[in-house]
Amino acid sequence: MTTPLERLQNDFAAALVDARAAAAIVPALVASDARMVERIALYRGNITAAWEKALSNAYPVVRCLVGKEFFAALARAYGGSHSSTCGDLNEFGEQFSTFVRTFEHTQSLPYLFDVAALEWRVHRAHYAADADSMPRTRIATLTPEQLLGTQFRLRPGCAWIESRYPIASLWLAHQPSATVELPNRLDHPETALVVRSRWRVTVVESNAGEIAALEQLSRGADVDGAIDAATRLGAPFDLTRALVRWLDLGVLMNWPAAAQASSASAH
């Protein structure tokens, strides 16, 4: 059963989201004068501003694509239907991409869901735990047999998304020091790989073979299993080039010397 205090708290929360609910809460407040509705409106304004700021930090490309005013309206609509469940506002936008996919006024922008989904992965990568990258010198010590049997771990924040739209190009074209132009067509599928190296998150284009291999590595498969997953797709996959790319991008996590010795002796 709901207690009077719980009802009061629920009514106050509703008044902070919906101006029409403010009048109902005024009589229960200590100073229920004529200005109380205005004071509640100030709280409401602060909350909606915090929603917009938090979402702008997580989804700057979406904000650029739809414009400042439309994004502010999106933030208000999202906040009104997705209450924050965490004291950390960096977590507030977790459901935003799903919201964009179903929101009535974004249906004419079908690519926006995938762009938002990519941006959330970038956002999460930025705040992911840190871990040392695998140096090339450690790979060089493995024999071919040992390499095939090695179970590499991916660094925190490494993620990917496949899309029917050029989402990697869209993201790259909206970066401050962009060297990539906006795509001239949207009916072009791309796979985006999110990586963080030296505290900087970036997005690079990927392909089905690479993602299949990384997916297997993330599940604990060894390199041989990763190669098998990529070749089963019929996608081009060159292990040597992939390893060089992953090492340069900081995809692979370094392991302690003891773990490397254990891995080498096991093979």
Tell me what pLDDT residue 259 has. 46
Name the residue ranges covered by the structural domains of the chain: 128-267
Tell me what pLDDT residue 53 has. 95
Tell me what pLDDT residue 261 has. 42
Tell me what pLDDT residue 85 has. 79
**CA–CA separation, 151 and 266 (whole Å):** 12
Cβ atoms < 10 Å from Cβ of 1: 3
Tell me what pLDDT residue 258 has. 38
| 3-state secondary structure at position 107 | coil
Q: Are strands 200-206 and 190-197 parallel, antiparallel or unpaired?
A: antiparallel
250, two tokens:
């900081």
Contacts of 259 (CB under 8 A, 6+ apart): none
**CA–CA separation, 91 and 266 (whole Å):** 41
Q: State the pTM of this model.
A: 0.83
H-only helix segments in 174-237? 208-218, 223-232
Q: What is the mean pLDDT of each run of 10 residues along the chain (267 residues)?
A: 74 72 68 66 80 96 97 94 83 95 95 98 95 92 94 96 97 91 94 91 95 97 96 89 95 70 47
Give, to the nearest 10 degrees, the angle between helix 223-232 and helix 208-218. 140
133, two tokens:
């990258």
| CA 57, chain centre distance (Å) | 12
Which letter, b or e, does each residue of 129-144 get, where b requires 16 or more Cβ atoms within 10 Å of its Cβ?
A: eebebbeeeebeebee
Tell me what pLDDT residue 75 has. 95
Are 213 and 230 in contact by the 8 Å Cβ rule? The answer is yes
State the Rg of the chain over Cα: 24
Helices and strands: H and E segment counts in the chain? 14, 3
- Beta partners for residue 44, in sequence order: none
Give the up-direction half-sphere exposure of residue 127: CA atoms within 13 A in the CB hemisphere.
Answer: 11
52, two tokens:
């917009």
Tell me what pLDDT residue 249 has. 95
Length of the chain: 267
